[in-house]
Structure 1
Amino acid sequence: MGKRLADIGLENTEDNRRKYRQLLFTTDKELGNYISGVILFHETVYQTSEDGTPFVELLKQIGIVPGIEVDTYNSRSPSYEAILENANVLARYASICQANRIVPIVEREIPPDGDHDLERCQQVSETVLAFDYEALADHNVFLEGTLLKSNMVTSGQVAATKAIKEQFTKATVTDLLTDQLFLDYERASQASVLRAWVGKDGNVAAGQKELLIRAKANSQASLGKYEAGSPQGKAGETGLFIKDHAN
């Protein structure tokens, strides 16, 4: 959040973070047609709008299911031991979530940092996925009651040769053929919103308009109906990669 606010020249204060989240969560109810759930950070769960309405309630009012970030992140350079350990930790986490009537989102965190090629990313993605689901079965997790938060299969950000979009699209689809898919458009949804808002109260409506445009485009993409270049967002040509990213 600090990096995103810095990008538009805002100080990373709790109130600025709250104002930005209020912009997102008070957008027109149409937003609920395109976004089904939001993963909230611990701070966000307890924040309220200016009129005192909890953010969790605002989300419910527009038909969006609120969730909370409860897991930690995986190793960036997976050895066999690291993959096995992370899979078992994720499986235990999923089991605990289900025991408490929470739907676990199992995330195989494979960041785009590094100089790896497309083939290496696909190999790691498929291997981690196999380990994850074996561990989930071993821990008696109800698989139909879980969601997989997947990654795009791409070459590394500093790879000597970058895969073109047709190549990484095919690699990602191949990887996802056996997945129970949960699509996360968090960064893609917010970049244009921030550029339109830039922390000014008078720009809240402009930011919300950008959110609706991008959310609709992402929803269409998940259904295979998106036409490339159709929405012209404020950050349409801006790279969204953040080195060593963590929520």
Structure 2
Amino acid sequence: MDINCWIRTSFIILFLTTLSIPVAGHADIYAGQIDTNFGTGGIVDVHIPLNHNDERHDREDVRVFDVKQDVNGNFFITGIVAHGNRGGPLWSWNTAYLAKLTPMGGLDATFGNGGVVYLQEHDANQGEHPRMAIQSNGKIIVAYGVSGENNGLGFMRLARYNSNGQRDETFLGEEALSDSIWQSLEDSPRNGQLVISRIDDILALNDDKVAILTDGRIFQLNENGSLDNAFGEGGYAFLNMDASSDGRIIPFEANGVGKILVL
């Protein structure tokens, strides 16, 4: 049983994950008391529905990696559902998801399928460590790693969703990671996508540009997902730190002027 805690401006969200049901608690950070107006007595059980009908998948574990709140008070949750088969490995594959909760903690039925969208088209992909950011227009950008393809190498996928859970086809997403990046980074392209080992965080800037931190690099995209060539060297910058360390890199926007502080 794992407890993950995220602290935001005026509240704490606790997600207590056990099997397939995360439990959320809402508290006032100053008073230290549970907000009983949230859910039932300050607690809400969130059930992430299955995305398949195969009876062999008899074991599942829901994990939360990121939580954000929009200007209307809605909560967005992204994470993975780890699937297991009878007689097989404990967890056979992971599927990344995005869920929307109302300000009172219930799944928003107007979003996706009953409040949840799955970010992958088929179960063969392994969703890894998804992160998200909410732009000023209310659209949600999700970045997540994929493994289990390309001879086991991982790569990053980007997607943007409208407030109703529909994928925004105007966002370039993974296509923004062009061959020019590969040549600059002296990497080899894998089906046109950026090979990574992890995603540390994703940040929506004031002008709705997007900064992505991964493996000691910052990539900056324009609002539509194209590379911002004015940033760093053709849209990316290296961080002068050990990208292989276990410490998570956490960015945030400093002083409201579009600068990025990395911890």
TM-score above 0.5:
no
Q: Normalising by the residue count of structure 2, what TM-score does the alignment of the two structures yield?
A: 0.28
Q: Normalising by the residue count of structure 1, what TM-score does the alignment of the two structures yield?
A: 0.29
Higher RCO (CA < 8 A, seq sep 6+): 1
Choose between structure 1 and 2: higher helix proportion.
Answer: 1
